[in-house]
Structure 1
Amino acid sequence: MPTLAKICGLTTPETLDAALRHGAACVGFVFFPPSPRHLSADRAEQLAARVPGHVRRVGVFVDPDDETVERAVANGRLDALQLHKTPPARAAAIRARTGREIWAAVAVKTRADLAAAPAFVGAADRILYDAKTPDGAALPGGMGLRFDWSLLDGVRHPLPWALSGGLDAANVGDAIARTGAPLVDVSSGVESAPGVKDVDKIAAFLKATQP
């Protein structure tokens, strides 16, 4: 099976089109005001309209309230919701309320952190293993940090899963070979500055995910 890719934190028509043109299976729209990738309602609506039906629109949230989720689902025409710092019970409630697929982010620094994943069985549809950010960091992801991929060696994943955290065109091939990730997720690794996507880096990353 080929590895699928999600380009996350897209904010402009040009970079979204680059992701679509070069084969992204999923595109990510961020709904978290502290992030430099945060989308307004109008911009989310504009971008969502450009995405063809075979590409999944994923909204990215940090422990959101119901109003934030509902507005984003409508404006972004979201197929899936990626939840950071959101407990399993809350993830389950959002899943029940919206009827959307849920991706639960599990922040990883040590092997013990992986123990959080099984709690999302029945509450989420996919686990996103992401690098744990430092205590007090303003953002839960998108900071270019990676974790030790060997921590996933021999892990029995409780749900379908994806790999995130510090990926770029130079290392994603190694990441896929090491972990067997069925889906990889990139944000800062295809940027020229925080929140500024680069069309050439998007193209290179997507090319590097293919054998």
Structure 2
Amino acid sequence: MESTQNNPKHGIRKLIIALSIVIPIAVAVCFKVKIEGVDLTFLPSIYACINALTAILLVVALVAIKQKKISLHEAIIKVCMVLSVLFLLCYVAYHMTSDSTIYGDLDGSGELEKYELATLSSASKITYYLILITHIILSIAVIPMVLFSYLHAWEGNYDKHRKWTKITWPLWFYVAASGVIVYLMISPYYQH
């Protein structure tokens, strides 16, 4: 019997776990870093489009696998994974070079004035923050889920892959789609 320490599959699993921990921590740390003099304010619309494309392609990948088009499904999932990495890079670059935008901050002062608070309904604030918070939490949770789901398929363990993707696919789709919704809700408050 092969030792778990020398098993390459064990190493891949450790790498997935490490990435699942390191990526969210690195993103959080990058929020504390501010690079002045670089204007990347155009990025939110780009990463919203990346999220939209990812959501659409996830649906296409689902349809492809339901139609037993395995090679097409695999190719689309790989594109979705690349798009997710591209999204992450754009997201981090934007937040390292731009101040955070506050929902409802019409004048871009960085705080909500009384007149701005008066224009926001409780329902819109609750809706925005509920979508944003679930988007953030699930974007962290989906990292290992996507990677392990992919690993199971890559290893040819399709039963395990199917079990994982029954949870992973809806969460990944939600993260991609909710990213677009968050952008659409916050975009009126971006200051260019």
Alignment TM-score > 0.5, same fold? no
Larger helix percent: 2
Greater RCO (Cα-Cα under 8 Å, separation 6 or more): 2
Q: Structure 2 length normalisation: TM-score?
A: 0.24
Rg larger for: 2
Q: Structure 1 length normalisation: TM-score?
A: 0.23
Larger strand percent: 1
